[in-house]
Amino acid sequence: MKNKIRELVFTALMTALVFVGSGIGFRTPSVTGGGYVHMGTAFLFFAAFMFGKKPAAFAGGVGMGLFDLVSGYYTAWAPFTFIISLLMGLTAAAIAYSPDKALSPAKCTLAFIAATIIKVLGYYITEVILYNNFISPIASIPGNIVQMAAGALVGSLLAFALKRNKAFVH
C-alpha cells in the first residue's frame, strides 16, 4: 500500500511539474507557426529516468495534453500531444529506467533518440492532419529536435544529480 501511495504522489507531482513546465519556454520559428521549447519536456525525461513507465507516461500525456488544452494557442493540438507525450514518456522510461541502479548515459541517450523519433513523427503527422500539407511540417522538425535535446539534457542532469541521493530513489 505504501509503495502505491508513493507512486501516486510522485505521478501527481510529475504531472503538475510537466504541466507548469510546459508554460515555461519559448517558441521556435517555423512555417507552420513554430515549435515550442519548454521545461515540460525536461520534467517528462526526469519522470522517465527517476520513476518509470507509468508515472512518465501519465505525466507526459496528461501534463502536456492539459497544457495544450488550456493554453488557448495549442488547444487543437491537445489530443495529439496527449498521445505523443504519453508514448514518449513510456518509451524513454522503458529504455532508461532502473529503480535500483545508477542511470546509464548510454541508455539515457537511447531513450532521447527513441522519444525524439516519436515526437518528430508524431508531430509531423499531426501537422499534416491539422494543416493538410505534407511539405510545410518538415520545417518544424529542427525545432522539435532542439526541444527534445534541451529537455533530455536538463531532465537527465536533474535525474543524475538526484539519483545519487539514495533517500530520493523511488
User: For the residues 83-112, what does the mean pLDDT come to?
Assistant: 95
Q: SS in 3 state form for the chain? A: CHHHHHHHHHHHHHHHHHHHHCCCEEEECCCCCCEEEEHHHHHHHHHHHHHCHHHHHHHHHHHHHHHHHHHCCCHHHHHHHHHHHHHHHHHHHHHHCCCCCCCCHHHHHHHHHHHHHHHHHHHHHHHHHHHCCCCHHHHHHHHHHHHHHHHHHHHHHHHHHHHCCCCCCC
Q: What is the pLDDT of residues 117-132, one digit of tens each?
A: 999 999 999 999 999 9
Residue 170 domain flag: no
Question: Does residue 96 sit within a domain?
Answer: yes
pLDDT of residue 102: 85
Number of domains in the chain: 1
Does residue 154 form part of some domain?
yes
- How far apart CA 121 and CA 84 sit, in angstroms, is 9
Whether 125 is in a domain gets the answer yes
Confirm whether 42 is domain-assigned.
yes
The arithmetic mean of pLDDT across residues 68-79, rounded, is: 94
Q: Which range marks the domain in which residue 97 is found?
A: 2-163
CATH code at position 105: 1.10.1760.20
39-43, 84-88, 159-163 — which is least confidently predicted?
159-163
Percent of residues, the chain, with pLDDT higher than 90: 75
136 band by pLDDT with thresholds 50, 70 and 90: confident
pLDDT category of residue 34 using cuts at 50, 70 and 90: low
pLDDT exceeds cutoff 90 at 37: no
Averaged over 150-162, what is the pLDDT? 94
pLDDT, residue 41, reads: 97
Is position 117 within any domain?
yes
Rounded mean pLDDT, 89-95? 98
Do the domain assignments include residue 169? no
Residue at 54 is within a domain: yes
